[in-house]
Structure 1
Amino acid sequence: MLVQKYRSMLSGKSVIRELSEFATARGQEIGYENVFDYSLGNPSVPVPRGFTEEMIRLLEGEGSNELHGYSPSLGITAVREAIAASLEERFGLPYRKEHIFMASGAAGALAHAFRLVTEPGDAVLTFAPYFPEYMPYVNLTGAELKVVPPDTESFQIHFGKLEEMLTENVAAVLINTPNNPSGVVYSAETLRRLADLLGQKSREYGHRIYLISDEPYREIVFKGVDAPCVSAFYDDTIMCYSFSKSLSIPGERIGYVAVNPNCAEAETMVNMCGQISRGIGHNCPPSIIQLAVSKVLDETADLGVYETNMEILYRELAALGFTCVKPGGTFYIFPKALEEDAREFCRKALAYDLILVPGDTFGAPGYFRMAYCIDTEKVERSLEALRRFVKETYR
């Protein structure tokens, strides 16, 4: 018999993916250049030349087994050493290879982190607006994701609601900064207050409450915005990182878990990740990609286009009367819709070939997300469609 919980998920497919598929189909009718597709967070800038050159060097200069064979279960030792050294240099924490586990992107890293610190029946808290895939990521482990309502004034943490929900059965708190979908970066004040509260509640309840930090957008931070290292504020932090956005290589599925060196049993936790892999069929990301990223840890793709696109959209949305917290990073912006029902708002926008994602799926009804990881020229052309949509539908 087929498993019912997965069968039932067929009726709740990703809204983001459905809209992306709609945009692709519409593009076949009118030309994709005429569809203003703000649905999917797929990086739009080329990979850095250094990554391409390293891939070529590896393919031409290394043996087949080194490039295409299995790596050790925790990842290639030299790669883990390079990542640890980079983290120590950047953030001042004494990372060593024993604190690093190579994973298949941030999603793979999160899959291990949840299984490290939760048992079935435990609660994991996260903050709206949040990446909707967190729900199956957590709930299919047997733990339960609970969502703290948003502070819509700033999209920083709503501490009043957090304190109400931070009960004894909470095993971990999951944060995402810079944030998808809001683009907001948590401030040092927010992180310090969160760390103090988690430490206090850990002592009160007699067990650690872990902080799981999902950081795929860590390198996409705009001018003048401070993006503090989350792990520097709280010892019991598990960092989950992906190179997908920084290097524009989401299809390569490469990232890592980095357990704070000051966390009790940090090395044991990393070794446990190797055992978790046995249960979820992880079995290491590709060796060649591990080797390639280890040589470009200080490089990124040309990420400046995302700030350019953000500024164009932010100015236009403000001029049209939208309420919007200005993003500090990522390639997302999250305005308030011009009617209470954001799903209906986004449905109406389709008539103008504007593909927008309603905020309901992110736990923030009444808002919508625009993923502006598209060419700047197309962003600029979309403004006329946005103006006509607002004028003809709401003015």
Structure 2
Amino acid sequence: MINETYKNMLGAKSVIRELSEYATARGKEIGYENVFDFSLGNPSVEVPKSFTDEMIRLLQEEDTMTLHGYTPSLGNPLYKEKIAESLNRRFDMNYGPEHIFPTTGAAGAISHAVRAVTKPGDEVLTFAPYFPEYGPYITGAGLKLSVVPADTETFQINFDKFLEMLNPNVMAVLINTPNNPSGVAYSTETLKKLAAILTDKSQDYGHAIFLLSDEPYREIVFKGADAPYVSKFYDNTLSCYSFSKSLSLPGERIGYVAVNPACEGADVIVPMCGQISRGTGHNCPPSIIQQAVAAVCNETADLSVYETNMNIIYDTLIDLGFTVVRPGGTFYIMPKALEESSIEFCKKAKDYDLIFVPTDGFGAPGFFRMAYCIDTEKVERAMVQLRKFVSEVYGR
């Protein structure tokens, strides 16, 4: 008998993917340059030349068996060493290679981290707005995912609701900062308050509540934003990272779990991740990508275009009377729709070839997400079209 759980998931296609597919099909009709596709968060800046150069060097100079052979089950030692050194230098931490576990992107990192600190039947809390794929990541591990309602005024943590929902069955809290879809970064004040609550409740419940920090947008932080390193605030933190955005390498699926050295079980969590891999079929990211990223892990692509695009869009939205929280990073912005139903709003925008994503599936109905990882010239033309849409449909 086939598995009914996964069969039933076939009917729940990603709204983002559906809109992206629509934009591609529409582009074949009118030219993709005339479709203002803000649906998919796919990096739009070039990979650093240093990464390409290192890939070429590895292929030309390194022994092929070393280059393409199996890595140790806990990852390439050089990759682990370089990641630990980078984190220590940048964030004043004291990671060792033994605290780093290479993964296939942040998704792989979250999937390993959550299994390392929970058992089936436990509860995990996250905060709206949140990345919808957290659902299968968490439920696929036999856990219950509960979503704390959003503070729609700031998109910081809704602490009143969080305290209501905390209970002894909560073993982990999953956060994403800077956040997809809102673009908001959790502030120093927010993280200090979160850490204090987790410390107190861990003592009350007699077990650690682990903080899982999903950080693929950590390097895309805008001028003046308060976006500190999460693990500085709470010992029992596992950082889940991906180079998909910082180096524009989403297709290479390379990331890591970084276990805070002060964390409970810090000496065994990475070896446990190796055992988790045996049950999930993870079996390490590609050897050559680990080696190449090790050489450039302190670099980023030229990420400045994202802030340029954000400023153009934010200023236009404010001028048109939208309610919107200014992003502190990422390449997303999440305005409130101009009518109660964001789904209907986005349908009407499609008639103007503006492709927006309603955020009902992110736990924030009434808003929509724009992924502005596109050329600035196209952003500017899109704002002309947005003004036309808002004027003709909503009289603004």
Q: TM-score range by the shorter chain?
A: over 0.9
Check if 1:219 corresponds to 2:219.
yes
Partner in structure 2 of residue 57 of structure 1: 57
One-letter amino acid matched to 2:112: H
Q: Equivalents in 1 of 2:120, 2:298: separation in Å?
A: 39
Q: How much does 1:10 deviate?
A: 1.1
Partner in structure 1 of residue 105 of structure 2: 105
Partner SS, residue 11 of structure 2: helix
Partner SS, residue 12 of structure 1: coil
Q: How much does 1:313 deviate?
A: 0.2
Q: Equivalents in 1 of 2:66, 2:17: separation in Å?
A: 36
Q: How much does 1:291 deviate?
A: 0.6
Partner SS, residue 11 of structure 1: coil
Q: Output aligned runs, 1:221-300, within 5 Å.
A: 221-300=221-300
Identity of aligned residues (%): 69
Partner SS, residue 28 of structure 1: helix
Q: Equivalents in 2 of 1:50, 1:4: separation in Å?
A: 46
The worse-fitting range, judged by mean Cα deviation, of 379-388 and 362-371 is 379-388
Partner SS, residue 146 of structure 1: strand
Runs of 4+ more than 6 Å apart: none
One-letter amino acid matched to 1:380: E
Partner SS, residue 238 of structure 1: strand
Partner in structure 1 of residue 73 of structure 2: 73
Partner SS, residue 267 of structure 1: coil
Partner SS, residue 189 of structure 1: helix
Partner in structure 2 of residue 393 of structure 1: 393
So what's the TM-score if we normalise by structure 1?
A: 0.99
5+ long unaligned stretches in structure 1? none
Partner SS, residue 258 of structure 1: strand
Q: How much does 1:159 deviate?
A: 0.3
Partner in structure 1 of residue 5 of structure 2: 5
Partner SS, residue 19 of structure 2: helix
Deviations 1:310-337 (A, max 9, x none): 0000000111110000000000000000
Deviations 1:253-301 (A, max 9, x none): 0000000000122120000000000000000000110011111111100
One-letter amino acid matched to 2:237: T
Q: How much does 1:157 deviate?
A: 0.2
Q: Equivalents in 1 of 2:115, 2:318: separation in Å?
A: 43
So what's the TM-score if we normalise by structure 2?
A: 0.99
Partner SS, residue 173 of structure 1: strand
Q: Equivalents in 2 of 1:155, 1:77: separation in Å?
A: 39
Deviations 1:343-395 (A, max 9, x none): 01001111000000001011000000000000000000111211111111111
Deviations 1:180-199 (A, max 9, x none): 00000100000000000000
RMSD, aligned α-carbons? 0.7
One-letter amino acid matched to 1:198: L
Partner in structure 1 of residue 83 of structure 2: 83
Q: Equivalents in 2 of 1:348, 1:362: separation in Å?
A: 20
Partner in structure 1 of residue 33 of structure 2: 33
One-letter amino acid matched to 1:59: L
Q: Equivalents in 1 of 2:130, 2:79: separation in Å?
A: 31
Q: How much does 1:65 deviate?
A: 1.3
Q: Equivalents in 1 of 2:167, 2:277: separation in Å?
A: 30
Deviations 1:37-64 (A, max 9, x none): 0000000000011111111111111011
Partner in structure 2 of residue 335 of structure 1: 335
Partner SS, residue 173 of structure 2: strand
Partner in structure 1 of residue 166 of structure 2: 166
Q: Equivalents in 1 of 2:239, 2:356: separation in Å?
A: 30
Partner in structure 2 of residue 354 of structure 1: 354
Check if 1:185 corresponds to 2:185.
yes
Q: Equivalents in 1 of 2:124, 2:89: separation in Å?
A: 31
Aligned residues, how many?
Answer: 395
Partner in structure 2 of residue 376 of structure 1: 376
Q: Equivalents in 1 of 2:149, 2:246: separation in Å?
A: 29
The worse-fitting range, judged by mean Cα deviation, of 92-101 and 63-72 is 63-72
Q: Equivalents in 1 of 2:260, 2:244: separation in Å?
A: 22
Partner SS, residue 258 of structure 2: strand
Q: Equivalents in 2 of 1:13, 1:344: separation in Å?
A: 19
Q: How much does 1:226 deviate?
A: 2.3
